[in-house]
């Protein structure tokens, strides 16, 4: 009986330790994707296991910076290392980035675009994260249904 109780306690302790090892914070660089050309981003998972998170970054979308903001949701597809990442957000960038006509009729040089996303994300046991993601964007002036991105970063 003592061996059974010890085994149950050991399994419970190992499972609790595994959940403590989930790294909620991620910083990453993204090429294309939400930041338009290149962006540096921070993401925070809101629970002690993969699921809902929030992200913010600063990127290059033209001469002035672009600011991507959004939410993400991770769907585990393989032992806490492989995920389907879904998300939605906005990116504030120069109007010229979104407007193919480059019209100067507007006094505000910035425009917001809605950017949904879906892709594959992988976590290594050592903290490295990489992802490939589909990120179409939709703005007042232009829609781009065929836009993709790639990211690499570190979880801590």
When the candidates are 2.70.98.10, 2.40.160.20, 3.20.10.10, 3.40.50.2000, the CATH number that belongs to 23-155 is: 2.40.160.20
Q: Could you give the CA distance from residue 94 to residue 63 in angstroms, rounded to a whole number?
A: 8
Confidence at residue 6, expressed as pLDDT on a 0 to 100 scale: 64
Q: What number is the average pLDDT over the span 137-155?
A: 93
56 or 110, higher pLDDT: 56
Instruction: Please state the domain extents for the chain.
Output: 23-155
Residue 33 is given by DSSP the state G
40 or 1, higher pLDDT: 40
Nearest CA to 42 among 21, 66, 58, 31? 58
Going by pLDDT thresholds of 50, 70 and 90, the confidence category of residue 57 is very high
75 CA to centre of own chain: 13
Q: Could you give the CA distance from residue 100 to residue 132 in angstroms, rounded to a whole number?
A: 26
Confidence at residue 17, expressed as pLDDT on a 0 to 100 scale: 47
Confidence at residue 61, expressed as pLDDT on a 0 to 100 scale: 79
Q: What number is the average pLDDT over the span 116-126?
A: 96
Whole-model pTM: value is: 0.81
Both tokens of residue 101?
Answer: 């006509």
Confidence at residue 59, expressed as pLDDT on a 0 to 100 scale: 94
Q: In the predicted model, is pLDDT for residue 4 greater than 80?
A: no
Report the mean per-residue pLDDT for the chain. Answer: 87
Going by pLDDT thresholds of 50, 70 and 90, the confidence category of residue 1 is low
Q: What number is the average pLDDT over the span 98-119?
A: 77
Strand, coil or helix: 7: helix
Task: Name 54's Cβ contacts closer than 8 Å, sequence gap at least 6.
Answer: 43, 44, 46, 70, 71, 72
Confidence at residue 102, expressed as pLDDT on a 0 to 100 scale: 58
Confidence at residue 72, expressed as pLDDT on a 0 to 100 scale: 98
Confidence at residue 21, expressed as pLDDT on a 0 to 100 scale: 74
Q: Could you give the CA distance from residue 4 to residue 36 in angstroms, rounded to a whole number?
A: 56
């Amino acid at each position: 009986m003592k061996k059974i109780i010890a085994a149950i306690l050991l399994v419970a302790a190992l499972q609790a330790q595994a959940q403590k090892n989930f790294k909620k914070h991620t910083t990453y660089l993204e090429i294309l994707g939400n930041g338009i050309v290149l962006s540096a981003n921070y993401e925070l998972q809101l629970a002690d296991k993969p699921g809902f998170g929030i992200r913010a970054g600063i990127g290059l979308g033209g001469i002035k910076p672009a600011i991507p903001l959004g939410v993400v949701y991770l769907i585990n597809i393989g032992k806490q290392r492989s995920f389907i990442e879904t998300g939605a957000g906005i990116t504030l960038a120069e109007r010229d980035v979104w407007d193919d006509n480059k019209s100067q009729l507007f006094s505000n040089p910035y425009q917001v675009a809605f950017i949904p996303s879906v892709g594959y994300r992988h976590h290594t046991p050592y903290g490295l994260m990489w992802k490939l993601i589909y990120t179409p964007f939709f703005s007042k002036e232009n829609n781009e249904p065929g836009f993709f991105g790639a990211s690499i970063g570190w979880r801590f």
